[in-house]
Chains A and B, each alone.
Chain A
Amino acid sequence: MQRAVVQGSKRGLAVLAGVTAASGMGLVYALENSVSASGDNVHPYALPWAHSGPFSSFDIASVRRGYEVYKQVCAACHSMKFIHYRHFVDTIMTEEEAKAEAADALINDVDDKGAAIQRPGILTDKLPNPYPNKKAAAAANNGAAPPDLSLMALARHGGDDYVFSLLTGYLEAPAGVKVDDGKAYNPYFPGGIISMPQQLFDEGIEYKDGTPATMSQQAKDVSAFMHWAAEPFHDTRKKWALKIAALIPFVAVVLIYGKRNIWSFTKSQKFLFKTVKGREPPKAQ
């Protein structure tokens, strides 16, 4: 009887705890989803990036095309201060290609007499900054300095999806929304008014590999390049993850077997309480 009551109350507590946990999580889920629907900007849609899987690597052809877009379109206003030409070597280009790419750029430097010069780039040079400083960048762009793009793929909520949506999301401003001269309307940008006008257009550039340069193709490629620039080690880290993940089952088997082996004696012990004559335990009343 007593056992039944205890079991019943245990079951009741378990049910109550389960219901409480489920309702708590339900509340969080419901409110979290309502939050996604609010806000002053459109959330970017999730895209099937070649590199978005846990063990997927970059589509290097796309990253290379993205560099072409960056160089011909974005680099006119945006810097990439953390990227050097040597980062291209054995990642998205061969050494010769990277050297040629660097030599193609004009780098600000000083000569032996301290005079300002421009020289062809070498592998150890950073990608050139279009402006001498932030104030010059702001002055040339209606007061809004174009941000550095090295980390842009990680520095915005939505990441690659956001970059793609922003680049392809320019629209006519809806009635009631005032857009000043030099600005543009883009619902993916927080607030909707962005200082950067639309930059990508169908056939705006010509790809070296002959891929049709539609607007969405360019946006996809430059988004992939910007993600590569934000973490050039991306493919290496996933390769390591895969190797270590493959190791886990073997390590687990060894450790679990070892532990069970060590514990087998302790776990298989039996205790026998033997009453010695004359030292019997007191009888239950």
Chain B
Amino acid sequence: MKINNSLLNFVNGMLVTLPSSKTLTLSWNFGSMLGMVLVFQIVTGTFLAFYYTPDSLMAFSTVQYIMYEVNFGWIFRIFHFNGASLFFIFLYLHIFKGLFFMSYRLKKVWMSGLTIYLLVMMEAFMGYVLVWAQMSFWAAVVITSLLSVIPIWGPTIVTWIWSGFGVTGATLKFFFVLHFLLPWAILVIVLGHLIFLHSTGSTSSLYCHGDYDKVCFSPEYIGKDAYNIIVWLVFIVLSLVYPFNLGDAEMFIEADPMMSPVHIVPEWYFLFAYAILRAIPNKVLGVIALLMSIVTFYFFALVNNYSSCLTKLNKFLVFLFIISSVILSWLGQCMVEDPFTILSPLFSVIYFALAYLLLFIFATSKFLFK
């Protein structure tokens, strides 16, 4: 199908005529699902922004105003904050699928994807703070304070982000502006992610990217991606039945800068990183470990290996890595007491050991078949 319009031609090349391997399973729906969730979050978030006021004295009340007074405002808010969880569910599935199929061989795709992941984490964190409830306020205090470990400029950066000498209404406005703007940057990077991906085509379940025996993206994969609608409907039902199950009770108490919650816990999607942060008593090393828990995956793009993959061993190690991440996430919400103070460092070590073992095997396996 040829169209004499450059923009439509571009869309046509992305969604209709794109040559796609026949062997893409349902695991390849995760990416398209993420695109849909991003658009959904932008739409619901924009609706919420109409009614929200980023002021420390009014923020919590305006959130409740949305819940109690705005016509069906509650449904938009329920979808928006549960949509963040849906985003992370598919983000992690997408990353694990990438690790399973060694998708890091598509370097630009992998690195842009990791960048999107980091930005989405920032976005979710800032959105969490906007509620201005007890847990979100104290999460802002804890997380922004981490930046003080940056040598020389750390304290200045923290003061700059706080827009003062503590987390205040000025910080809230800072976060609101970024929370509003960042999704558009993410959208642009997602577009880049897609362009990089489509220059070679997806990694197939045969671990190949070659141009052989392909089909057009439409109608085959449009039909397959339509399965996402079922997941959407299930998500909507679960959000309506259990809207607050993934949140914390402290999110319903207005922020009080004079009284911290007994037990500060982030949202479930940050728990693995939080467990790694808490596992190391030294603040600087803890922050470095936290950062490395994600940055480590950038290193995969530095290795060139297109000739051999130990697929079974790789899958097995990724499976272990998933288990260790789940256990770390659970440890992240446990109290700081025995045996968790021992288990957290142990599983942090296992997390990094598995990640670097994956990298090591990927880097060295090509020498086995020379």
Query: Interface of A with B (CB < 8 Å)?
Result: 9-10, 13, 16-17, 20-21, 24, 27-28, 31-32, 35, 38, 54-55, 82-83, 87, 150-151, 154-157, 159, 190, 230-233, 237-238, 240-241, 244-245, 247-248, 251-252, 255-256, 258-259, 262-263, 266
Report B213 CB to chain A, min CB distance, Å: 8
Q: How many A-B residue pairs have CB under 8 A?
A: 106
Report A7 CB to chain B, min CB distance, Å: 12
Given A247-B233, A258-B226, do A55 and B241 touch, yes or no (CB 8 Å)?
yes
B303 part of interface (Cβ distance < 8 Å):
no
Interface string of B60-83 (1 = CB under 8 A from A): 000010011000001100100000
Contact of A262 among B219, B240, B243, B252 (CB under 8 A): B219
List B residues 208-259 near A (Cβ within 8 Å).
215, 219-220, 223-224, 226-227, 229-230, 233-234, 236-237, 240-244, 249-250, 252-253
The residues of A that contact B236 with a CB separation of less than 8 Å are: 241, 244
Assess the A248–B234 pair: CB atoms within 8 A: yes
B306 part of interface (Cβ distance < 8 Å):
no
Report A128 CB to chain B, min CB distance, Å: 17
Assess the B68–A28 pair: CB atoms within 8 A: no
Assess the B316–A266 pair: CB atoms within 8 A: no
Stretch with Cβ within 8 A of A (4 or more), from B168-176, B192-200, B292-300, B319-327:
B319-327
Contact of B253 among A28, A155, A240, A252 (CB under 8 A): A155
Q: Which residue of chain B is the closest to A256 with respect to CB atoms?
A: B227
Assess the B316–A35 pair: CB atoms within 8 A: no
Q: Which of A82, A87, A259 has the most CB of B within 10 A?
A: A259
Contact of B223 among A27, A151, A247, A263 (CB under 8 A): A263
B334 part of interface (Cβ distance < 8 Å):
yes
Report B159 CB to chain A, min CB distance, Å: 30
Q: Which residue of chain A is the closest to B313 with respect to CB atoms?
A: A13
Assess the B327–A24 pair: CB atoms within 8 A: yes
Assess the B334–A248 pair: CB atoms within 8 A: no
Chain A to chain B contacts (Cβ below 8 Å), 28 pairs: A13-B312, A13-B316, A17-B316, A35-B334, A54-B241, A55-B241, A82-B67, A87-B68, A150-B64, A151-B64, A151-B253, A155-B253, A156-B249, A230-B252, A232-B68, A233-B74, A233-B75, A237-B75, A237-B243, A252-B230, A256-B227, A258-B226, A259-B224, A259-B227, A262-B220, A266-B22, A266-B215, A266-B220
Q: Which residue of chain B is the closest to A9 with respect to CB atoms?
A: B312
Contact of B252 among A27, A54, A87, A155 (CB under 8 A): A155
B339 part of interface (Cβ distance < 8 Å):
yes
Q: How far is the CA of A262 from the CA of B319 in the complex (A)?
A: 33
B262 part of interface (Cβ distance < 8 Å):
yes
List B residues 87-117 near A (Cβ within 8 Å).
none
B335 part of interface (Cβ distance < 8 Å):
yes
Q: How far is the CA of A256 from the CA of B228 in the complex (A)?
A: 11
B330 part of interface (Cβ distance < 8 Å):
yes
Query: Interface of B with A (CB < 8 Å)?
Result: 22, 64, 67-68, 74-75, 78, 215, 219-220, 223-224, 226-227, 229-230, 233-234, 236-237, 240-244, 249-250, 252-253, 262, 312, 316, 319-320, 323-324, 326-327, 330, 334-335, 339-340, 343
Other 11 A-B pairs with CB < 8 A, given A237-B74, A247-B233 = A13-B312, A24-B327, A28-B330, A82-B64, A87-B68, A155-B252, A233-B67, A237-B241, A248-B237, A259-B224, A262-B220
Q: How far is the CA of A85 from the CA of B107 in the complex (A)?
A: 60
Contact of B244 among A154, A156, A240 (CB under 8 A): A154
Contact of A241 among B241, B250, B253, B343 (CB under 8 A): B241
Report B339 CB to chain A, min CB distance, Å: 7
Report B121 CB to chain A, min CB distance, Å: 24
The residues of B that contact A255 with a CB separation of less than 8 Å are: 223, 226-227, 229-230
Assess the B312–A82 pair: CB atoms within 8 A: no
Q: Which residue of chain B is the closest to A156 with respect to CB atoms?
A: B249
Closest 9 CB pairs of A and B: A241-B240, A155-B252, A262-B223, A151-B252, A259-B223, A154-B252, A54-B241, A237-B240, A245-B237
Assess the B223–A21 pair: CB atoms within 8 A: no
The residues of B that contact A231 with a CB separation of less than 8 Å are: 67, 74
Q: How far is the CA of A35 from the CA of B229 in the complex (A)?
A: 39
Given A10-B312, A17-B319, A237-B74, do A251 and B233 touch, yes or no (CB 8 Å)?
yes
The residues of B that contact A32 with a CB separation of less than 8 Å are: 330
Report A225 CB to chain B, min CB distance, Å: 15
Report B56 CB to chain A, min CB distance, Å: 15
Report B67 CB to chain A, min CB distance, Å: 8
